[in-house]
Amino acid sequence: MFQHVDAYPGDPILTLNEDFQKDPRTNKINLSIGIYFDDLGRLPVMAAVREAESAMLSSIGPKPYQPMTGAINYCEAVQHLLFGADSEALRSGRIATLQTLGGSGALKVGADFLKRYFPDSQVWVSDPTWDNHRAIFEGAGFVVNTYPYYDAERGGLNFAAMLDAIKALPRHSVVLLHACCHNPTGVDLSAAQWAELIPVLREGGLLPYLDIAYQGFGDGIVEDTHAIRALADADVPFFVANSFSKSFSLYGERVGGLSVVCPDKDQAGRVFGQLMFAVRRNYSSPPTHGGQIVARVLRTPALYKLWSDELAGMCERIQAMRRRLHDGLVQRVPGRDFSYFLTQRGMFSYTGLSAEQADVLREQHGVYVLRSGRMCVAGLNNGNVDRVAEALAAVL
Ligand code: KET
């Protein structure tokens, strides 16, 4: 019966992470998956999350199904966080927001909706992008293409080529954009570049689809929403998939959201209804617990402060690790430019390592990075950074 089923080659990120767990070496170092670890290499439980969850446990209640679109208090908190409480688009009721199963669930529900109402559109993602973008949109039935993004020679953004490619797209093409902390390159558009891109998106009748999975890991919680707020102000209809996996260290709770900014309230109502139907046909309704942790933190000023302070501290630690790795490499491999470790933003650095070098790093040194050369710098700590510098110097 299943003879024709192909063997699954595995996922470039999740399977590597599982291989790491199985690796018996005690000195192994995991810089593969995008997960923030603390300086002792532990997955943190954030203080605000602990407080919110403790409060929730002290009043355990019944557990009905949630609405298909999730909890209203959660969706409102997401809207305020992404768009700002005084956003015009929000006040005019033209943003449809639902609670989803992480950022991935948001991307998938939005992709299903788009395939239904824009069946002839194709999707355009940055070259490179998070591996699962392609998989999710192809899984929803789209042809997925790339637009130029990363300039490997300069270690920066090839903005002119990106803009030219996007200018040439047919109307209603879906353009996937990273709102901040681009995965995997750590290279973002500046505010001035967004200001140049946005009219191109609007005039081309394109459908921007923003992904924000690292809010707070760039310039700050509000600063990292710059692109989202600028698009909303520019009257461009667009999609935003957001994730709290990293910013709340709530990976396994699957907490995310999908917001669609529409031209007016009436269209937002209809879009909301069809997104609801897309959810119903996928998984019916989202789980309660994780969303309520996040809603409680975002809506309680003292907890919000605790959360934002801790998140800022996590960013500082990542920056400190970027500096230590950079300095360690400059010392060991003189004459080579490692400044990209300092300029790339968010959780990742794109090292330029080849797949073969990544294999040697893993097999001989127990240091796991993706075969694309992406390194999760949030997995570095004071106890392992020198060994990583040593191992990198050996394979370069
Ligand atoms: N978008 C981006 C850009 C992203 O990097 C991730 C996860 C997600 C969405 C998914 O978020 P979630 O809320 O967990 O569904 N990225 C890391 C983990 C993974 O591949 O699933 C990673 O790149 O390592």
**Per-residue model confidence (pLDDT) at position 276:** 98
pTM: 0.97
Q: How does pLDDT run across 311-349, given as a tens digit for each residue?
A: 999 999 999 999 999 999 999 999 999 999 999 999 999
Q: How does pLDDT run across 111-147, given as a tens digit for each residue?
A: 999 999 999 999 999 999 999 999 999 999 999 999 9
Please list the active-site residues.
130, 211, 246
**Per-residue model confidence (pLDDT) at position 155:** 87
Report DSSP state, residue 254.
-
Q: Residue 210: pLDDT above 90?
A: yes
Q: Percent of the chain having pLDDT more than 70? A: 100
> Which residue ranges have their beta carbon within 6 Å of ligand 1?
13, 33-34, 102-104, 130, 132, 183, 211, 213, 243, 245, 256
**Per-residue model confidence (pLDDT) at position 164:** 98
**Per-residue model confidence (pLDDT) at position 258:** 98
Mean predicted lDDT score pLDDT of the chain: 97
**Per-residue model confidence (pLDDT) at position 227:** 98
Give the residue whose CA is nearest to atom 16 of ligand 1: 34
Give the residue whose CA is nearest to atom 4 of ligand 1: 213
Q: Residue 154: pLDDT above 90?
A: no
- Distance of CA 242 from the midpoint of ligand 1 (Å): 10
Give the ranges where the chain is alpha helix by DSSP (H). 14-22, 47-57, 72-83, 88-91, 102-117, 131-139, 159-167, 191-203, 226-233, 265-282, 289-299, 301-332, 340-343, 355-365, 385-395
Q: Residue 216: pLDDT above 90?
A: yes
* Ligand 1 probe mutation, 30, 132, 182, 212, most atoms within 8 A of CB: 132
- Distance of CA 202 from the midpoint of ligand 1 (Å): 27
| pLDDT band at residue 195 using 50, 70 and 90 as cut-offs | very high
**Per-residue model confidence (pLDDT) at position 133:** 98
* Ligand 1 probe mutation, 177, 240, 243, most atoms within 8 A of CB: 243
Average pLDDT over residues 197-203: 98
| pLDDT band at residue 73 using 50, 70 and 90 as cut-offs | very high
Q: Give one DSSP letter per residue of 139-184, joined into a string.
A: HTT--EEEEE-EETTTTEE-HHHHHHHHHTSPTT-EEEEESSS-TT
